[in-house]
């Protein structure tokens, strides 16, 4: 049986990413730069065989996956599924605000003066989730336990199903905080402030109920795609 590998891509850069606004369950489209970056990632992945593909149900993730599959020589034949469990965190009433506003509020909820003070400590995703819930005046934000179970079960089900079908590679498009959160659930030493880049690939192996991290924030596929594009255009 082949090894089961998840290639988890952070979606391309969006309008709200560019404007530095909070984007969880709210959604904006990829920018021209964002589409171009994912085009390069797709070119860089052309030689990687995928048994199936998944994205969250957010428009930016779906748009990213469509670009990736359009660049893959077998893209039309790769089964593609949408799974709402691997979408981004819900930030409730903080959605759409400037990032600086949210990260001005959350530290104070946790009794820190600034964002830098907060991240200078060993703050956890659980504490951040509680802070989001506490700052959310609309009561829309997910409780930590619900968030944890959603994210973990979503990715684990994808991995388990692929392993049961003989293994192989799965292409996945998800979101920055969700991916970083998943990495921390696998390895508690992973930093909360992961700064995962748009179009970066985070690769996990899965065997007998256990994930292992093979790559984090890998932009080599994007760089390879740029080289391929340059040679094609020359």
Query: Hey, which residues are catalytic here?
Result: 11, 88
Nearest by Cα to 8 from 48, 55, 42: 55
Q: Is 168 annotated as a binding residue?
A: no
Residue 92, annotated ligand binder? no
Report whether 154 belongs to an annotated binding site: no
14 is in an annotated binding site: yes
33 is in an annotated binding site: no
Secondary element (H or E) of residue 80: strand 80-82
211 appears as a binding residue in the annotation: no
Nearest to 170 by CA among 203, 217, 210: 203
User: What is the spatial distance between Cα 234 and Cα 222, in angstroms, rounded to a whole number?
Assistant: 18
Hey, is 69 helix, strand or coil? helix
What are the tokens at 59? 């428009």
Cβ contacts of 137 within 8 Å, gap of 6 or more: 92, 93
Residue 195 burial by Cβ neighbours in a 10 Å radius (0-12, 13-18, 19+): exposed
15 assigned to a ligand binding site: yes
- 3-state helix, strand, coil split of the chain in percent (to 5) is 50, 20, 35
Binding-site members are 10-17, 60
Binding residues for substrate: 10-17, 60
């Amino acid at each position: 049986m082949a090894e089961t590998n998840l290639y988890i891509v952070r979606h391309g850069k969006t309008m709200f990413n560019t404007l530095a606004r909070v984007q969880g369950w709210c959604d904006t489209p990829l920018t021209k730069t964002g589409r171009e970056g994912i085009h390069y990632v797709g070119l860089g992945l052309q030689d990687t065989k995928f048994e199936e593909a998944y994205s969250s149900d957010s428009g930016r993730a779906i748009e990213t996956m469509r670009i990736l599959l359009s660049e893959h020589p077998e893209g039309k034949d790769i089964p593609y599924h949408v799974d709402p469990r691997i979408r981004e965190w819900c930030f409730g009433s903080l959605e759409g605000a400037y990032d600086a506003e949210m990260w001005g509020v959350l530290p104070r909820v946790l009794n820190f003066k600034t964002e830098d003070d907060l991240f200078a400590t060993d703050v956890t995703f659980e504490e951040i989730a509680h802070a989001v819930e506490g700052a959310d005046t609309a009561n829309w934000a997910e409780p930590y336990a619900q968030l944890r179970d959603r994210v973990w079960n979503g990715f684990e089900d994808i991995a388990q199903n692929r392993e049961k079908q003989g293994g192989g590679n799965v292409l996945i498009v998800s979101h920055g905080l969700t991916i970083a959160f998943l990495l921390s659930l696998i390895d508690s030493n992973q930093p909360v402030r992961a700064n995962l880049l748009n179009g970066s690939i985070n690769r996990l192996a899965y065997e007998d109920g256990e994930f292992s991290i093979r790559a984090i924030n890998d932009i080599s596929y994007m760089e390879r795609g740029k080289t391929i594009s340059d040679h094609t255009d020359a």
